[in-house]
Amino acid sequence: IEASKGLAAMEAILASSPRLRTGTVCVARIKWKALMGQLPRVPPFLSRFAASASSAKAMPVGNYTLDDVKALVVGSLTDVLGNDDFDINTPLMEIGLDSLAGVEFRNRLQGSMEGLELSPTLMFDYPTVPDLIDYIWTQVGPVEDDDLAASGGPMVGGAVGEQLAFAGQSCRNPGGCSNHPGDFWRTLVSGQDTSSDLPSERWDMDAFYDPDMDAPGKTHVRKGHFVVGIDQFDGEFFGVKEAEQRSMDPHQWLTLEISYDALVASGFTKETMNNLDCGVYVGCATLGGLSPDIPAAGPFTNIGYSYSGLSGRVSHTLSFRGPCFTIDTACSST
């Protein structure tokens, strides 16, 4: 509405009752279509606005083609974002879909398909448009008898005593040793000492060193076993923005790199990892390592410095479908 009409409406409201003058009153332009898209159910007092916000009826499940699903997903995303200038292969969060808009997006899709139930965490479970289209198609597309027969029923666990194999390995080694597992083994066999002085890029050792073992707030040790290049994490490759990368514990950098390298060593590519039925289990006893200072709180520090973030970030970043656990049993989990 025009500013003059809004002011006139507010003046009329304030003049209607003396009691309103002690409260807070505003006149706002509301995008009813967007608002209704965020509500799982429309309350009765907003029903007339809901009727004007959407005239389209949901199509019943079974009447869809794959092209229909694609059009609905892309169209709903365009409506929520307010533009169609996005690459469908880019993760939804990277093209501007935050958690609030994600709820609206999910509600729009669910309201467009009769009988379809979608999780509130849809954008995290299926982080790209193609992932989402594939999932929804499995829910609304036709089911062939041959498909059911071919599935052979649910997969069950292997027999007790079944042999397991390490298909791929990766590691990060201290003391200038290469990151190849074979070199790590040779280092152990040869008894090589991998200790070194603290790398200068981590922190000023002189500020914390004191030969007195009892000096408060100091350490009497100058050497350790340090992984070289820990600060050279390639966040762009993993789709991690710079601001988020700065709020990540270095253990999360290493866990992502090592997990990816191990899967590549076992024959996977970045593309074939997507939607892989894969569990992530991480053992970790301590966090920190690049600086003795506690990082300033920010929007990413909660998950960036949590134990759950070690396994959860691998599962989320590589789009795995499976459980993820970080286990802390002190020294035995390191």
In the prediction, which pLDDT does 307 show? Answer: 81
In the prediction, which pLDDT does 61 show? Answer: 54
Residue type, 4: S
* Cβ–Cβ under 8 Å, residues 77 and 105: yes
Q: pTM of the prediction?
A: 0.57
In the prediction, which pLDDT does 145 show? Answer: 47
Residue 222 CA to residue 197 CA, distance in Å, equals 6
Label residue 286 by pLDDT band (50, 70, 90). confident
Kindly list the structural domains of the chain, giving each domain's residue range(s) and its CATH number in brackets, ordered by start. 3-53 (no CATH), 59-141 (1.10.1200.10), 181-327 (3.40.47.10)
* Cβ–Cβ under 8 Å, residues 248 and 304: yes
Residue 284 CA to residue 286 CA, distance in Å, equals 6
In the prediction, which pLDDT does 216 show? Answer: 92
Residue 229 CA to residue 247 CA, distance in Å, equals 18
Least confident of 13-17, 236-240, 284-288, 326-330: 13-17
Average pLDDT in the chain: 78
- 227-285 residue pLDDT tens: 888 888 888 888 888 888 888 888 899 999 999 999 998 888 888 888 888 899 998 88
In the prediction, which pLDDT does 19 show? Answer: 62
